[in-house]
Amino acid sequence: MTPRLEETCRSSEAVGRTGALTEEAVLIQRLRAGDETAFTEMVNRYHRALIRLALAHVSDRSVAEEVVQDVWMAVLEGIDRFEGRSSLKTWVFSILTNKAKTRGVRESRSIAMSALSAEGEEGDDPTVDPSRFRTNGHWKDYWTDYPQSWDEGTPERRLLEKEGAGLLEQAIAALPSRLKQVLIMRDVEGLDSKDVCVLLSISEANQRVLLHRARGKVRQAMETYLEGQASFS
Amino acid sequence: MTRDEIRIYVLDYLAGRLTCKKWVEMVTDYLEGSLSLWPRIRFHLHLGLCNGCRHYLQQVRTTIKTTQQLPREPTPPHVREELIRRFRSMSSS
ipTM of the complex: 0.89
User: Does the distance separating the beta carbons of A187 and B68 come in below 8 Å?
Assistant: yes
- Cα distances from A7 to residues A87, A176, A195, in angstroms, run 13, 30, 12
**Residue-range domains of chain A with CATH:** 2-114 (1.10.1740.10), 120-230 (1.10.10.10)
Per-residue pLDDT band at A107 (split at 50, 70, 90): low
Residue A69 sits at the chain B interface (C-beta within 8 Å): yes
- What is the structure's pLDDT at A105? 72
Per-residue pLDDT band at B76 (split at 50, 70, 90): confident
Residue A198 has pLDDT above 60, yes or no: yes
Residue A114 has pLDDT above 50, yes or no: no
Q: What angle do CA B67, A68, A60 make, to 5 degrees?
A: 80
Residue A8 has pLDDT above 60, yes or no: no
What's A149's DSSP letter? P
How far apart are the CA of B45 and the nearest CA of chain A, in angstroms? 14
- Cα distances from B66 to residues A87, A187, A195, in angstroms, run 24, 9, 22
Q: Give the mean model confidence (pLDDT) for residues A182-209.
A: 93
Cβ contact A191:A53 at 8 Å: no
User: Does the distance separating the beta carbons of B28 and A211 come in below 8 Å?
Assistant: yes
Q: List, in sequence order, every beta strand (DSSP E) within B47-92.
A: none
Least confident of A50-59, B13-22, B51-60: A50-59
Q: What range defines the domain where residue B13 resides?
A: 3-92
Interface of A with B in 130-159 (CB under 8 A): 130, 133, 140-143, 146-151
How far apart are the CA of B37 and the nearest CA of chain A, in angstroms? 17
Which residue from B28, B50, B88 is facing A215, i.e. has the nearest CB?
Answer: B28
Residue A197 has pLDDT above 90, yes or no: yes
Concatenated DSSP letters of A81-98: T--SSS-HHHHHHHHHHH
Residue A157 has pLDDT above 50, yes or no: yes
**What total number of domains does chain B contain?**
1
- What is the structure's pLDDT at B93? 58
Per-residue pLDDT band at A49 (split at 50, 70, 90): confident
pTM of model > 0.90? no
Find the residue in A nearest to B51 (Cα): A146
Q: Give the mean model confidence (pLDDT) for residues A40-63.
A: 87
Residue B52 has pLDDT above 90, yes or no: yes
Cβ-proximal residues to B7 (8 Å cutoff; 6+ apart), any chain = B49
- What is the structure's pLDDT at A24? 84
Most B CBs within 10 A among A67, A143, A161, hence the mutation to make, goes to A143
Cβ-proximal residues to A51 (8 Å cutoff; 6+ apart), any chain = A61, A64, A65, A68
User: Does the distance separating the beta carbons of A222 and B34 come in below 8 Å?
Assistant: no
